[in-house]
Amino acid sequence: MEPNDPEEEEFGFSRNYFLTKELCSSGKKSACKVSDINLVDEQELREAYAKLEFKHEKEINALVESYKKLYTEWVFMLRCGFGLLLYGFGSKKGLIEDFASTALTDYSVVVINGYLQSINLKQVTVTLAELLWERLKTQRKLENHLKNQQPFHTQSMDDLISFLDGPHLEDGESFICVVVNNIDGPCLRDSESQQFLARLAACSHILMVASIDHVNAPLLWNKKMVHTEFNWYWYHVPTYAPYKVEGIFFPPILAHSGSTQTVKTASIVLQSLTPNAQNVFKVVVDHQLANPDGEGKWLSLTVNYYICLCITNVMFFSLAGMPLNNLYTVCRERFLVSSQITLNAHLTEFKDHELVKTRRNADGEDCLYIPLTSDTLQKLVHEISQ
């Protein structure tokens, strides 16, 4: 063969590749574990982050100012029936809210912050309907059948959508603008929320402006949602701005779960509930503190992530939890609940705030557990007992 024969070069490359793989596999593997990483306290990490000086501030400001020249075009696209979707690296919260406050002054604006942990879309829709109602009354263009409108909070979601999509004005000049920061936020990523937002965007009296930050955000929508309901007009507007506000609601990757913050958050939620609900929660706490055998296994499950993918179901069966039937019996004996319906109402409140979770034990029973360590649980009980 010739010295520079392509086949010889390819053969040499393949041989070197497999030799390298063999040497790597024969070497001594590292004994380090994820649990060996010395993670810092969340509060310390946030304080250190706050002291960081971000570079190129002048250039970033100039970049954002260049986007403001597009405001007229954005309003035009909204009036043409498109939804605006802003994407690109960096927080777009400041940009999108500046656009709303300066270029959308002729419309009522409702802001939805998708980075929050929970959003009540029914309440958002009621607010939109009330704003549209007020605009229609102000313009004195209400039809006769709208004068006896029943309260919006008593109507179904379908009725509210029908009202927002109704032909109340001949000229169609009454609009409500919905601004969604992070429409791909954690609490909006489920299919039901996205489908409802798409229906909302398709209403004749709704204009929608939204931002996305997750690289896989487009996977949330099907073809109909993208081109018909949302009818997105995409704008690439990287701001390179830090996610200061959005990041407050997410624990840093390099920090361990701060028990102080967890106790404070759970305490605020529990103190807003009735005394009976608090006592029901304490019953679950007492059971978990009396049966701490599963705690170490639970922690190992969360730390050893790759192992967790293979043995999740097995580990769940070995963890301690309080069966629902036992909880109901104890609560009835202590006169905390009068029926299973009352207990279910308390449990729904706990689950909505992620205070308790459920799993099945080896006997197939539904069991309740609190995703906190024993030390954190003791601090929490002390906090709500004061």
Residue 362 CB-density burial (10 A; 0-12 exposed, 13-18 middle, 19+ buried): exposed
In a domain, 80, yes or no: yes
Same domain, 90 and 237: yes
Same domain, 262 and 321: yes
In a domain, 15, yes or no: no
In a domain, 377, yes or no: yes
In a domain, 115, yes or no: yes
pLDDT at 275 over 70: yes
pLDDT of residue 273: 81
pLDDT at 29 over 70: no
Examine the fold and report which residue of 247, 280, 308 is the final residue of a domain before the chain moves on: 247
Percent of the chain with pLDDT over 90: 29
pLDDT level of residue 266 (50, 70, 90 thresholds): confident
pTM of the model: 0.57
pLDDT of residue 318: 35
Same domain, 150 and 292: no
Same domain, 239 and 267: no
pLDDT level of residue 38 (50, 70, 90 thresholds): low
pLDDT level of residue 50 (50, 70, 90 thresholds): confident
pLDDT level of residue 313 (50, 70, 90 thresholds): very low
pLDDT level of residue 293 (50, 70, 90 thresholds): low
The domain that holds 306 is classified in CATH as 1.10.10
pLDDT of residue 64: 92
pLDDT at 291 over 90: no
In a domain, 30, yes or no: no
Range of 25-39, 57-71, 278-292, 294-308 with top mean pLDDT: 57-71
pLDDT of residue 308: 32
Question: Nearest-5° angle of CA 348, CA 350, CA 356?
Answer: 115
Closest CA to 100 of 87, 115, 84, 89: 84
pLDDT at 312 over 50: no
Q: How far is Cα 251 from Cα 144, in angstroms, rounded to an integer?
A: 53
pLDDT of residue 307: 28
Range of 145-159, 167-181, 235-249 with top mean pLDDT: 235-249
Same domain, 202 and 329: no
The domain that holds 127 is classified in CATH as 3.40.50.300
Per residue in 188-226, pLDDT (tens digit) is 988 899 999 999 999 988 999 999 998 889 999 999 999
In a domain, 332, yes or no: yes
Same domain, 276 and 219: no
pLDDT at 84 over 90: yes
pLDDT at 265 over 80: no
Same domain, 176 and 265: no
Same domain, 215 and 103: yes
Same domain, 237 and 271: no
In a domain, 253, yes or no: no
Q: Which of 205-219, 300-314, 353-367 has the lowest mean pLDDT?
A: 300-314
pLDDT at 277 over 80: yes
pLDDT of residue 239: 93
In a domain, 121, yes or no: yes
pLDDT at 56 over 70: yes
pLDDT of residue 197: 94
pLDDT of residue 174: 77
pLDDT of residue 303: 33
Same domain, 270 and 309: yes
pLDDT at 146 over 50: yes
Examine the fold and report which residue of 212, 247, 282 is the final residue of a domain before the chain moves on: 247
**How many structural domains compose the chain?**
2
Q: Report CA-CA distances (Å) from 60 to 55, 74, 103.
A: 9, 21, 21
User: When comparing pLDDT for 222 and 173, which is higher?
Assistant: 222
What is the average pLDDT across 9-19? 65
Q: How far is Cα 384 from Cα 261, in angstroms, rounded to an integer?
A: 14
pLDDT of residue 100: 93
Domain that holds residue 380: 258-385
